[in-house]
Amino acid sequence: MNPSSAPIIVQPGGGKELRALGDILTVLIEGAQTGGKVAVMLDVTPPDSGPPLHRHSLEDELFLVIDGRISYLTERRWTEVGPGGVVYLPRGTIHSYRKVGTTPSRQWIITTPSGFETLFSRCADEFALPGGPDMGRIVAISGVHGIEYVTPAQD
């Protein structure tokens, strides 16, 4: 049976925990298990934190908010989303998000196809280095994985 047609069951507490960019991302299903079709991750974001403005050229993203309130920037507008809310961002969408409030947020991130989990793993390796990451390397790694950081003037 090839990986993309095999059932996958992940028990609570399973997965691989990665730490980078202030977030804790637990990869529960990765592309190696799905033939590259999908990745499923649980993201914990601390207060007043989130990624810089960017776009993905290789995957679509689906966010499902579990705990906390998260403000998403798309189409030059911030929209706050609470528990039970869903955000779909097709590839090419310039976006960011910020955790609002005083407690961490939790959200599912599902990407199709997979690949984002590999980028985050490589970034986590950089963040684990003594002295912290080389942000030039983070930008280079991101570029290899189809992530482009943009300034507000580029959107």
In this predicted structure, what is the pLDDT of residue 48?
86
pTM of the model: 0.91
Sequence spans of domains, the chain: 22-115
Positive or negative, the CA dihedral 107, 111, 138, 147 is negative
Reference 95, options 118, 78, 73; nearest CA is 73
Instruction: Express each pLDDT in 28-53 by its tens digit.
Output: 999 999 999 999 999 999 998 999 99
- Tokens 């799905």 correspond to what residue? 34
**N- to C-terminal Cα separation, the chain:** 44
Burial 136-151 (b: 16+ CB within 10 A, else e): eebeebbeebebeeee
Topology (CATH) of 22-115:
Jelly Rolls (2.60.120)
Average pLDDT estimate for 64-72: 97
Query: Greater confidence, 154 or 141?
Result: 141
Instruction: Express each pLDDT in 86-140 by its tens digit.
Output: 999 999 999 999 999 999 999 999 999 999 999 999 999 999 999 989 989 999 9
